[in-house]
Amino acid sequence: MDVDKEYFSNITTRERAIFEGAISMGALFHQFVGTPVNKDTKGSLEKAMEDSLNLQPAIEKVEVEIRFDKLEESMTEFDYTSLTGDMLDVKIHTKVDEVVAVIRIEFIEELNYPLMYVESIED
């Protein structure tokens, strides 16, 4: 069975590259928000997020940064906090055929919101 022809024939390669990154970003957000984290586990959590998303088809590269400033603001007396959307700065690079899309989440101060958006597309 040709999965591309069977299930993706109704969208363009460009749309598919965006879809793959966007669905992965949504999964990352909803899977990891709420995870306990502190300054000592920040790096391993970033790596776990990158490694898990890199397993998915069409994902070329994942860059995860948990913003240390937001992490520090949220620390509790128990020396940890729960990961929140405003701590995430993530780029997911997808490639379908020759189309590369970069989907990003970052906290936008003016919006006071962790915004997911298409950062770039290269055809």
User: What is the DSSP code (8-state) at residue 2?
Assistant: -
Give the three-state DSSP class for 93: strand
Assess contact for 14 and 123: CB atoms under 8 A: yes
| Dihedral pair phi/psi, residue 61, rounded to 5° | -160, 145
Q: How far apart are CA 20 and CA 29, in angstroms?
A: 14
Is 116 assigned to a binding site? Answer: yes
Is 20 assigned to a binding site? Answer: yes
Residues annotated in a binding site: 20, 116
Residues annotated in a binding site for substrate: 20, 116
